[in-house]
Amino acid sequence: MNRIFRTISYFLLTGAALTGCNEKTPVEADYDVIPLPQSIAKAETENFTLNSNTKIVYPKGDDVQKQTAEYLAEYLKLSAGIELNVTDEDATDNSIVLKTGYQGEKPESYNLTVNSKQIVINGMDAAGTFHGIQTLRKSIPADASKHTVVFPAVDIKDYPRFEYRGMMLDVGRHLFPVEFIKKYIDILALHNMNRFHWHLTDDQGWRIEIKKYPELTRIGSQRAQTVIGKNSGKYDEKPYGGFYTQDEIKEVVAYAEKHFITIVPEIDLPGHMLAALTAYPNLGCTGGPYKVGEEWGVFDDVLCAGNEDTYTFLENVYAELIELFPSKLIHVGGDECPKTRWKECPKCQAKIKELGLKGDAKHAKEDMLQSYVISRMEKFLNSKGREIIGWDEILEGGLAPNAKVMSWRGTEGGIAAAKMNHDAVMTPGSHLYFDFYQTDDTTDEPLSIGGFLPVERVYSFEPVPGELTAEEGKHIIGTQANLWTEYIADSRHAEYMVLPRAAALSEVQWTMPEKKDYERFLPRLAKLMELYKKLDYNYATHVMNIASSMTQDVAKGAIALSLFTFDNAPIYYTLDGSEPSDKSTKYEKPLEINSSTKIRAVAYRKGIKSKEYTESFGFNKATFRDIKIENEPHKSYTYDGAITLVNGKRGGLSHSNGEWLGFYNTDFVATIDLSKSVDISNVTTGTLVSIGSWIFGATGYTVSVSEDGINFKQVYNEEYPVIDNSNPNNRVQDLVAKFPTEKARYVKIIAKVTKTIPDWHPGKGSPSFVFVDEIIIE
């Protein structure tokens, strides 16, 4: 496979000569930025040279464009090291002209043209002009202060694919200072995003001042202590709290508006309201007492849907909220609302009877009650000129008439909404939950909720599912990533989780899918990461490590292992487990692995060794043999199918790294054909325990053998207790069956799922997953 790598290059212009050691050498701008513009056409005119006499010109009397011009001046000062004059006086030569009036494809379009005299950024609207200056700033090296920047003549026509392009930040679990919220907005603007979804309340803290209800912040913003790690049962015994005043909210809203970003505020209801109930216990079904959440998860205590005081409270809260946020969309949450209290609450049951709510085959009458709550809030907000959006649970029990859906439990919620002619924003956890680990080697990583979401997987996301018609697809209005902060306590950690995955997300949001190419994206990302460094952003560097891809050749019983780096740095490797160096074998072509092997590899850049790449392959009697599974794995955890279980590669601690198959609410049952009768006495099956992701160990393990594939003899059976909460850490748990030697061609394996999640877990009473990886037969 040919891999194309482009790097930023420095060019000496024809005829230029160095007349002194202080003279700057020219460097050309490169318009292949992130997100990649829709059209970049080279112009047949002379180039434009930036110098200290260049002026930035904005339309007379246009304060919005003046602000954009001043931002551009700041950006160019940072990277080019020169201060440019910002003016509303016309200038035809040596100027960067900002304007609007471009007749583009859609709102936020812009046209950027360069000739020898001017750079003109012409937006369809002011937001389009702003996106144009982002392209201009990203086209030059992050530090060009020792060079003269030359902009090649060009005609760029650009527009966004989606109208909604955002990221979410959860401040309920951990609070972040106003200055960081502004920095987060800066990050969004750099990546051409236009929505900041601000998750302002949760069980663990109420973070926005509501003047009519002062106890929300006096009591609801404070928790007595915080659990250590992943619901370990141990606490830090340190009070934690804080909130944003309305003046601070206004300050942030104004800052976002200057960056053409709309803040979508979220007050989550009717669940995730424990902080509010602690402040006002009369709003709960039991009347309390309650306490602000000190652990993570989902709590049974929610707003009482049968209490009219609840609706008065919500209307008053939203009335103050909409005075602070001009966004047309208001997020009402709607996720993870247990109905436990409602089923027992006389007021809720009376409300159900009063409304004549009935359950159906899919939904209980209490689900219908939640739909009533959401619809009632929608009517109130509609009366104030606003519209609602909510997590995909708002589909359950019937969707409010004009609601938009944010699809987080896969893409199914967005699909359902689109088929009902409702707009949807795609934000599936599988591709866009930025609280997941960015690497499957988590040894040196800060604590995360789990999962595995590398840059490449984010980049691969396609928001418009193929099962939608062209007309239905129009209802997918965009996509966003979510940063939940249970395990993210400070700003630097938050930046680290967002970057550089935000760059991959920006091309999903902005660039047309036919123009996306991950291999061409990587060198552009390398250039953008230099700007991150210049801006003092804390970003992950995993994309700089050696990456690999594997192709399984079942017929040959081998794996073709390809290694590469984003900048084509030379790679050296060993296959005997010894430490690699630049004296080791140089990687030239894919390696064929057909026996147990440990590969160790490093790349070298300017004599500096990269982080070591290590991978182990274990071959046994089951490797690459025919395997059939009886129950289908969950569609989110199918990956390469059954062959994943016998490919010689063991899964790690991340359930989403492609090396595990996940079975939901069903046992794992598989039969392996060893191709001939052989002696066996040991069958090991790897399982994963990740209780935070509802993945529990097996509760039983059975092995049977057969010579004909029809008549099986059980040779091993063991039952296991349901996992308790004494060890909250992710771990691989091998199921090992040892028995007297048997001759067999077929081996049948059963790993029993934990049928019901135990009471100590936030998902108590729900079905669980059993995750299975490598099967080893000896």
Active site (catalytic) residues: 202, 272, 336
What is the separation of C-alpha 424 from the centre of its chain, rounded to a whole number of angstroms? 17
In the numeric block, the tokens 């091309």 are attached to: 507
* Number of helices and strands in the chain (H, E): 17, 39
Helix (H) / strand (E) element for 388: namely strand 387-391
Q: Which one, of 597, 641, 600, lies nearest residue 619 by Cα?
A: 597
Query: Which structure tokens are listed for 482?
Result: 């979510």
| CB-based contacts of 65, cutoff 8 Å, min separation 6 | 58, 59, 98, 99, 100, 126, 129
Residue 257's φ and ψ, nearest 5 degrees, are: -60, -35
Handedness of CA 491, 497, 500, 503 (dihedral sign): negative
In the numeric block, the tokens 């909404």 are attached to: 417
**Which conformational region is residue 737 in: left (phi greater than 0), alpha (psi within -120 to 50 degrees), or beta?**
beta
Listed as own residue / partner, the contacts of 358-362 with beta carbons closer than 8 Å and 24 or more positions apart are 362/396
Residue 688's φ and ψ, nearest 5 degrees, are: -115, 140
Alpha-helix runs per DSSP H in 408-517: 412-419, 429-432, 455-459, 470-473, 491-498, 501-510
Distance CA 409, CA 636 (A): 10
Distance CA 206, CA 664 (A): 34
DSSP bridge partners of 388: 330
Residue 295's φ and ψ, nearest 5 degrees, are: -125, 175
DSSP 3-state assignment of 632?
coil
Tell me which amino acid residue 446 is.
Answer: P
Distance CA 28, CA 364 (A): 64
Distance CA 635, CA 625 (A): 23
Q: What is the DSSP letter of 720?
A: -
Q: What is the DSSP letter of 89?
A: S
| Percent of residues in the chain assigned helix, strand, coil, to nearest 5 | 25, 30, 45
- Torsion angle of the four alpha carbons 338, 341, 347, 353, in this order, in degrees rounded to the nearest 10: 60
